[in-house]
Amino acid sequence: MTVKSLKETRRDLILKSAEKVFSEKGFLNSTISDVAQETGVSDTTIYEYFSSKEELLFSIPREGIESGKEMLDIHLNYINGASNQLRAIIFHLCKFYQDNPYFASVTLMTLKTNKKFMETDIYKDLIEYYKIIINVIEKGIQGEELKNDINPYFVRSVIIGSIEFIVIRWLMYGCPNDKSQPINNVDPLFKLVMSGIKKDKKMTNLNFKIKIEPDEGNSLE
């Protein structure tokens, strides 16, 4: 683990402050001065790290994507089977958003609707991150654990879309500490997804032996 420099630490603090400000006030209603005040630095200091409010917004997901991908890569190495790995991915995404509500609010309710964000390198990193799901599904198909007629990209969209809907609804209700928390939806969502993509092996390798004996009371002779 590398020790962060003072500059890197301050940059992280600015990004965390921006998450909070943009989440609470909305991106359009927020200013660089708001972020500076939340961070405890001057406006000039913010501009030393980010050239504009938009660049600051677009920079927020980078660390979350990098750390999330690294964490998933490590955990999935210790989990066998596509089904178990898919559950781990669903759990990871729900838990991460739940533990980071400001991050969730900015990424799902602001960046998702920003076309310019889709042109950034960070967005490309996000697409690369979500390839983890594609890889798991394809391995599941190859290993005959999942149905071979499913579209991995469509399944990924179902999983991500469902999680984002669950999290956004939770955010809109003010992140209540009850059964609506994202983490409580992991198994219901997992079971629903698997009911449509898991290969049914109940009828595999069954041998039937039929023995026909003449009925003495109804002879054909």
One-letter identity of residue 122? I
pLDDT of residue 63: 81
Tell the burial category of 114 from Cβ atoms under 10 Å away from its Cβ (0-12, 13-18, 19+). middle
Determine which helix (DSSP H) or strand (DSSP E) holds 25, and give its type and residue range. Answer: helix 6-25
Residue 47 has pLDDT above 50, yes or no: yes
Best CATH choice for the domain 1-50 from the list 3.30.1150.10, 1.10.10.10, 1.10.10.60, 1.10.15.40: 1.10.10.60
Q: What residue spans of 32-120 are helical by DSSP H? A: 32-39, 43-49, 53-76, 82-99, 101-109
pLDDT score recorded for residue 3? 58
Rounded distance between C-alpha atoms, residue 141 and residue 139, angstroms? 5
Report the percentage of the chain scoring pLDDT > 90.
70
pLDDT higher than 70, residue 2: no
Residue for token digits 């990004």? Answer: 15
What is the per-residue pLDDT for 220?
44
Name the residue with tokens 């838990």.
95
pLDDT in tens, 135-190: 999 999 999 999 999 999 999 999 999 999 999 999 999 999 888 899 999 999 99
CA pair distance 134, 154, nearest whole angstrom: 10
pLDDT digits (tens, 9 = 90+) for 51-86: 999 999 999 998 888 888 888 888 899 999 999 999
| Number of C-beta neighbours around residue 153 at 10 A | 12
Q: What is the average per-residue pLDDT within 28-45?
A: 96
| Residue 106 confidence (pLDDT) above 60 | yes
Q: In a 3-state reduction of DSSP, which class is residue 200?
A: coil
Under a CB-based contact definition with an 8 Å cutoff, are residues 101 and 175 in contact?
A: yes
CB 93 within 8 A of CB 126: no
Alpha carbon distance 9, 17 (integer Å): 12
Domain boundaries, the chain: 1-50, 60-197
Task: Please measure the distance between the N-terminal and C-terminal CA atoms of the chain and give it in whole angstroms.
Answer: 89
Q: For residues 111 and 114, give the distance between their C-alpha atoms in angstroms, rounded to a whole number.
A: 5
Give me the pLDDT at residue 6, please: 84
Please give the CATH superfamily to which domain 60-197 belongs.
Tetracycline Repressor, domain 2 (1.10.357.10)
